[in-house]
Structures are given as structure tokens and as C-alpha cells.
Amino acid sequence: MTMTAKPASAAPPEAASTSGFLDRVLKVRELAILVVLVLMLLATQLDNHAFLSEQGIKDLLLNATILVLVAVGQATVVITRNVDLSVGSTMGITAFAAGEFLRGGGNPLVGVLIAIALGIGFGVVNGLLVSLGQVPALVVTLGTLYIIRGLDSIWFGSKQITAADLPSGFADFGHNGFGAVPYLALLTAVVLIVAAYYLRSYRSGRDLYALGSSPEAARLAGVPVRKRILTAYIVCGALAGLAGALYLARFGNVDSGTGNGYELTVVSAVVVGGVAFTGGSGSVYGAALGALLLTSINSVLPSIGVSSVWVQAIDGILLLLAIAVDRVVALRVAAVLRKRAAQTRSAIHHA
Amino acid sequence: MTDPEPERTPVLALEGVSKSFGAVRALRDVSLRLYAGEAHALAGENGAGKSTLIKALAGVHRPDSGTVLLDGAPVVFHGPADARDAGVAVIYQEPTLFPDLSIAENIFVGRQPRRSFGRVDHKSVRQATADLFRRLGVDLDPDQPARGLSIADQQLVEIAKALSFDARVLIMDEPTAALTGSEVARLFGVVRALRESGAAVLFISHRLEEVFQLCQRVTTLRDGAWIASEPVEGLTEDDLVRRMVGRDLDELYPKQDAKVGEVALSVRRLTREGVFTDVSFDVRRGEIVGLAGLVGAGRSEVARAVFGVDRWDAGEVEVDGRPLKSGAPSLAMSAGLALVPEDRREQGLVMEMSIERNINLTGFGATSRAGLMNRGAERSRAVDWALRLQVKYARLADVVGTLSGGNQQKVVLAKWLATDPRVLIVDEPTRGIDVGTKAEVHRLLSQLAADGLAVLMISSDLPEILGMADRVLVMHEGRLAADIPRAEATEESVMAAATGRGRNAA
């Protein structure tokens, strides 16, 4: 990242080494997941040579895309020190809405747009409730989780959409790709890169980090706090909506239970990916890597002969491990900074 | 007290502004006029309403009544962004930084220079920050995250932030509190240059000599009310103090002589890594020991560690010869230690609970039988202490949050005095309370010491330290810098030690 590159002349050596140290820590956090992921995949490949075949890679990517999309949206919200628990419900209802539209012979592109628009609608509701209500996001979005799930049940009842109801081109889009790279993964990669670039290079993106880091300071600095929180929820809702449409394209099967409990997987992915739940730090790349890691475990375990009943337990262990590592690293960093500050002081003193 | 004010239109002014927070009237009918090219001082004791006034100018608080005038025309600032867009830059007393962002981002948040397509120009942000630091003569790396910066460095970042606005009005709330002499000199140089280029400056400092150095005009507040606006020229420090205090100092600081007895609290080589180092002192029965120092020097942190709220890494604490354990507040309480914390709203009281309940929070052992709470005993304990401290309340069942700041503080004191402590630690005992109650709290502390209590009083209010303490301990950057007896304690000697210019540790 160019942001972390330093001009040669700017700083005294002491300060420079401190920031270099921090930069390393932050980069290492994302690099660590990547290393774990690569090691895991390589080890599995040694055990089972068919694992990383063209189809194998394609499956890994396909499995990851939807979770990555929702995780990117969730990360945007978590960076502002909030959370959106309604993403699973949103994904379910938007998948169903798009399915209903397509079953009636609608244009696939319009179907996707409908899903996104519906997601944006729920994002607006969440964003307004959180930013205006001064109520913890956890509680608000737990409420909307159930409301949206309820709407889903009322609207669709016991109806079900199957692949046979959908235009064939739509399903093809969900399965095919260029060689080992599915179209869905490409689309997700584009979204990921755009989101990362927005968060890094636009004032409003930087504001999200600022208000997650210190809401009070953000208010005093004139950051439009409510507007920014609303934006984060809209992004999150839109991506959950897009994910709903892609879910439909990939699986073809949707019922009123689709996406149940998905929000917890998403939050795990985001946290494993190093986006701090206390806001202000982490990146969507990290969240995407976290999502990739979690979904890859799902594929890895069966292929090395471990029963899939272990998957959830291992996900949980991974989550605790990630949080423990973050905590230890944070304490270490704080200790180092304190010591450095003390050294600088005494250096000034004795000068 | 009027003065021949210039005919010019003030850049920014308040006319007849009032602001209340619940029962507390923070500002009453206050007017203030800031002129281009002039540095204006705002004087007043802690709690006189200075910070509220600044927040009204900065768009953080909307006045209940009265108007804000910009270039003579009434304006309403709906938020800090409005004030900022009108050219008002503020340096707050407590640095408000984003710990996760780099220093450069902290300075330019929401106003980053942009290149094509509205993208933030990270390189210019960094460059502009480096330029600001060069102008201020500061060695800080723009890319370093704000987390872990010392208070002084945080303050410098705040100053750089305010300068980056090219503001028409620069408001500074105690900007020099944590700075060294040379940093202050450089800051003043920059401020003078700004003023000469036509900016209006509002300056708050408890160091009166700085007011005389930097400012042309001074407005004094007392208990939220406007007292005077006048030119600095021809004024003496004593004049200013009299305006601020509004009564004789003897009356405000009724220190009785007390017989100093044996050591009650003994602290030996106490260290918490990176926070304070090698702190040793004694407090004797009958003695009020003042603990002075700049914000961030580690005073409250020492108190918290002694009481056991935070752990210490090395050293010993004894109460009446009984050693305390690190990180064990209930043990400290049973040994006879009481801590009236710095922030009564967050740490001293449970704001939603009644007066009675708050006083009895420390008394579950004393008022319960066989583990069951005895309401009668609780009630009489609360009544007893509320009466002794003359808390002004309607009913004991009233929620404590409805009381004024001074009465809230008395409830905190009652809560701790009811435990019959041997050593009382009070952290900023009179912050944000009116002058009348302040005098009462001082009389009470003095009386308690005369009755044989050992008192350790932390305060940022220098006149309070000088007026009340038998001995003044001064901390500087985590170390005890001086131990000054009452007779030798002056504003100069304490400030010299607090800023690291003073004598070596006693």
C-alpha cells in the first residue's frame, strides 16, 4: 500500500521506527491469514492430489464468493464500531425476491438490481435506526434480523424456488467462468477492490475509520457521523442484496430459511480477518481473506477425511484464536509504544 | 466594568448567551467579542464556564438563549462543521485524536487535499503535515499512528490541526498545559504571527503570566456569569485573581493548622511501567498533602494504583503499617483507604440511582445483617451523612443526577466518609463546582484533617493546592519531581517542578 510508504526525510529515526513497527504489525496481521490459508491448501494438496485441480480451485472460489461479498459489507460497518446482524435475513429475502421476479420471466440483470435495491432499503432502515436511535447496533440489527426474517416467511410462506424456475443463462452465470476463475469470483474481486479503494482514498471512506476510532473526536472534527453510519449500512445492505442474487444464481434453490444464521459466519470471517470489533482498524482485504479461510476449511476437512461435523467447532476455535492473537498483539504494541515514549522522554530529559 | 471597546465589528461574538445542563447553569447571560488581530484571554476558575463558552463558539453546544454573531450577523452553528466552515478553529483542553489513524490523517480528517476524481491525495496530506510540524519546530512522524503519543505530543498535533485551517478565529483551551518552555515559546511565536495577519485569538490558560504575555484583552467569568471585559494593559495579576475568585482567598481556602501525627499512608518506589516510575511519599495523620502536576503527569494514575484499581509493577503501599496488595480495592477499603475519583459522573456515582443508594454503596457490610440489607440502617446512615455534609436535596430517594455538581460531589464524599477511612484520597475534589460549594468542600477537608484524617489531594487548580496543602508533591512525566513544604510553595516553584524546570526530587 502506498499509504504506508514514508518520505525519506520526514521523521526522526525514533518515531520512524515506531511507525515502521506498527505498519509491520498491521500488514503481518493480513499476511498471517494468507500464510495460514496457503499452508492449509498446500498441505491438503499433498494429502489429496485432486484437491487443487482446476475444478477444485473453482469450487473453492465459488464457495467463498458469497461470504466474501457479505463480509466486505460487514467490515465496512464494523470499521465504524457498529455491526449489522441482519445480513443473513437480507440475503435470504433478496434471493427470494430476485427468484420470484425471474420466475415470472424477468430480465436477469433487472433481477440482480432488484435484489440490490431491496438490500439498500434494509440498509437505510438499519442505518437510520442506529444513527438516529442512539441504540447499540447489536440490538437494533438483531431486531431487524427477526423482522426481515418474518417478512420473508409472510411473503413467501412455504414457497420454494428451484433451479428449474430460473432462466438458464442466469444459472450458467452462477456456475461458469474463465477456466478456474468463476464469473462470480471476478465480480466479487471487482467489488472488493472498489470497496478497498473507496475506504482508502475517499474522504468519506477515511471518515468511517475516524468515527470508528473515536466517535467523540469525529463529532468534534465535524465528521457527519450520522450520514457516514447510514452510508456504511447502505453499502452493507447493498452487498447483502447482491450476495442474495448471486446465491440464487449459484444454488438455484431458495426458500424462506435461506441465509438463516449466516450473519454469525460473516461476523466470524470479519473478525478472523483482523477487522477490530472496537472499530477504526482492519481492511476489507483482511475480511475477504478471513472469509476465504473459513470457507476453505469447509472444503479442506472432507477432502482430508475429517468428518464435516468438526467444521463448526474448528471455525469457533479459529475465531477465538484470531481474537486472542489480536489481543496479545495489541497489548504488545501498547507496551512497546509506552516504553518507547518513556525512552524518548528520558532522552529529551538527559539531553 | 465597561471599557472603550473598538468601533470595529467583532469577527465572532456572543451576546447574552445562557446554557444549562440539567440543574447546572453553566453560562448565564455571557457576552464576549473577539476582534481581528487581537488576542483575547478568557479568565476564570475551574468550573467558571470557560469550556462551555468555547463549545458554544465552536458549535458543539447550542446556547439556550442569546446569539452567536459572525461579522456582526447572527448565526446558528448546527454542529462543529458549521463553525469550522465559518473559520473557527479550536484546540480543546483534552486532545481528541483518532488513535488508529496516522498523525497526518488526524490533522486533515474530513479536509484532506484531493486529486482527480475526489481521491484523497495521501502524499499531499503527509507533506502538508510535515510542513506544519516544521513551522512549529516539532519532531513527529506524520505516518505514526496517534496511539501511544504522550499528552504533550497529542497537544502538538491538536495545535498543528488548528493551524492547518488558516482560521479567522483560533480558540485555544489550555494549549500550553503539557508543553515545555521552548514549545510554548514557539507556539506563541506562531500565534502572534497569525494574529498579526488578522486572525482573532481566544486564549485560556491558568498560567496568568501567559495571559499577560500574549493577550491584549481579557474577559473574566465566575460561576458561569460574565464579570468583566477589559484591556490587559494596566491590569495586575492580583486584579485578575480578584475578579476570578470574587472574594478573599482566605475565605475560599480556610486551611486550619492541624497537629501532624504518625504516618498513615506510605508509598515506596511505586512503579507502573510506562505510566509512573519510582514514586515514594508519606501522608501523615492531620496532614493535607497536595499532589500537583500537569495533565497526564500520572497523578490520578498513582492514586488509582494506590487504591488498587490498577495494578502496580513494583513497589509497596502501606496503610498504618499494613501492606496492601496490588490490584485489590476491597482490601484497600478494609485497610481504611478511601478514593474520591476524578470523574464523579463516570466513576464516583451511579447517576441513575438515588442519593441514599449512592451513599450506601460503600456500606453493604455495615448496614446488612446475615447478608440481607437493612433498609432502616441504610436510611439512617444516608441521612446522617447527607446532613453532616449539608447536601441540598429534596428527598433522599431523588436520583443523584438531578443534583448540582457541587452537591453531587458532596454525595461522593459522604459515600466515602461513611466508611470511616484513615486515609482519604481526593482527585480533583472541586472540579466543575461553584465557588460557594467549593469553599464548603475545602472547609470540610480542612476539618477532617484537623480531626486526624490523612488527606492526599490531587488537583489541577493551583490556587487550591497552594491554599489547602500542608505539603505539595509535584509530578512531572510519571516521576515525583518535588516535595515542597507549604511555606515555600508558590505558583512559580510548583509550576517549575511540574514542567521539569525545577529542582531535583526531594
The mean predicted confidence, pLDDT, of chain B is 87
- Measured between CA atoms, the residue of chain A closest to residue B103 is A19
Confidence of residue B504 (pLDDT cuts 50, 70, 90): very low
Q: What angle do CA B184, B190, B194 make, to 5 degrees?
A: 140
Cα–Cα distance list, A59 to A37, A68, A181, A185, A311 (Å): 15, 14, 9, 10, 17
CB contact under 8 A, B150 and A345: yes
Kindly state the average pLDDT of the residues B171-182.
79
CB contact under 8 A, B96 and A349: no
Kindly state the average pLDDT of the residues B348-364.
88
Does residue B470 surpass a pLDDT of 90?
A: yes
CA distance A15 to chain B (A): 6
Per-position DSSP letters for B116-148, written without gaps between them:
GGGBB-HHHHHHHHHHHHHHHT----TTSBSTT
CB contact under 8 A, B150 and A341: yes
CB contact under 8 A, A201 and B110: no
- Within 10 angstroms of residue B444's Cβ, the number of other Cβ atoms is 18
Query: What is the per-residue pLDDT for B375?
Result: 85
CA distance B200 to chain A (A): 20
CB contact under 8 A, A19 and B145: yes
CB contact under 8 A, A218 and B98: yes
Kindly state the average pLDDT of the residues B127-155.
85
Q: Which of B98, B119, B143 sits opposite A4 (nearest CB)?
A: B143
**Residue B180, SS3 per DSSP:** coil
CB contacts of A334 in chain B (<8 Å) are 147-148
CB contact under 8 A, A206 and B127: no
Q: Which of A11, A224, A280 sits opposite B141 (nearest CB)?
A: A11
Q: SS3 letters for A243-312? A: HHHHHHHHHCCECCCCCCCHHHHHHHHHHHCCCCCCCCCCCHHHHHHHHHHHHHHHHHHHHCCCCHHHHH
Confidence of residue B171 (pLDDT cuts 50, 70, 90): very high
- Measured between CA atoms, the residue of chain A closest to residue B77 is A222
Domain map of chain B by residue range?
A: 12-97+149-246, 251-498
Query: What is the per-residue pLDDT for A109?
Result: 93
Provide the grid cell at A179: 477456466
Q: Which of B96, B100, B112 sits opposite A203 (nearest CB)?
A: B112
| Mean pLDDT per 10-residue segment, chain A (351 residues) | 38 42 62 88 88 88 94 97 96 95 91 97 96 89 95 88 88 87 95 95 94 91 92 97 95 89 93 90 93 90 82 84 82 72 54 42
Does residue B503 surpass a pLDDT of 60?
A: no
Torsional class of B479: left (φ above 0), alpha (ψ -120 to 50), beta (otherwise): beta
Query: What is the per-residue pLDDT for A349?
Result: 47
Query: What is the per-residue pLDDT for A343?
Result: 62
Long-range contacts of A110-113 (CB under 8 A, 24+ apart): A111/A170, A111/A245, A111/A248, A112/A242, A112/A245
CB pairs under 8 A between A and B: 139
Does residue B506 surpass a pLDDT of 90?
A: no
- Measured between CA atoms, the residue of chain B closest to residue A211 is B98
CB contacts of B100 in chain A (<8 Å) are 209, 212-213, 279-281
CA distance B293 to chain A (A): 16
Does residue B3 surpass a pLDDT of 60?
A: no
CB contacts of A350 in chain B (<8 Å) are none
CATH topology of domain B12-97+149-246: Rossmann fold (3.40.50)
Complex prediction ipTM:
0.82
| CATH numbers and ranges of domains, chain A | 2-345 (1.10.3470)
- B65-76 pLDDT, tens digit per residue, is 999 999 999 999
Query: What is the per-residue pLDDT for B63?
Result: 93
CB contact under 8 A, A210 and B150: no
Query: What is the per-residue pLDDT for A205?
Result: 95
Per-position DSSP letters for B282-335, written without gaps between them:
EEETT-EEEEEE-TTSSHHHHHHHHHTSS--SEEEEEETTEEPPTT-HHHHHHT
- Measured between CA atoms, the residue of chain A closest to residue B272 is A338
CA distance B71 to chain A (A): 22
Does residue B287 surpass a pLDDT of 80?
A: yes
CA distance B451 to chain A (A): 41
CB contact under 8 A, B274 and A339: yes
- Measured between CA atoms, the residue of chain B closest to residue A200 is B120
CA distance A42 to chain B (A): 35
CB contact under 8 A, A213 and B139: no
CA B469/CA B446 separation, integer angstroms: 9
One-letter amino acid for residue A213 of the chain: S
Query: What is the per-residue pLDDT for B249?
Result: 61
One-letter amino acid for residue A298 of the chain: N
Superfamily of domain B251-498: P-loop containing nucleotide triphosphate hydrolases (3.40.50.300)
Are A119 and A238 within 8 A, CB to CB?
yes
CA torsion angle B345 B346 B351 B353 (round to 10): -130
Domains B12-97+149-246 and B251-498 equal at CATH topology level: yes
CA distance A265 to chain B (A): 26
Residue B209 or B230, more confident: B230
- A83-115 pLDDT, tens digit per residue, is 999 999 999 999 999 999 999 888 999 999 999
CA distance B311 to chain A (A): 15
Query: What is the per-residue pLDDT for B393?
Result: 83
Q: Which of A18, A200, A213 sits opposite B144 (nearest CB)?
A: A18
Residue B177 or A287, more confident: A287
At residue B51, φ and ψ (nearest 5 deg) are -65, -35
Does residue B475 surpass a pLDDT of 70?
A: yes
- B395-423 pLDDT, tens digit per residue, is 888 888 878 778 888 999 999 999 999 99
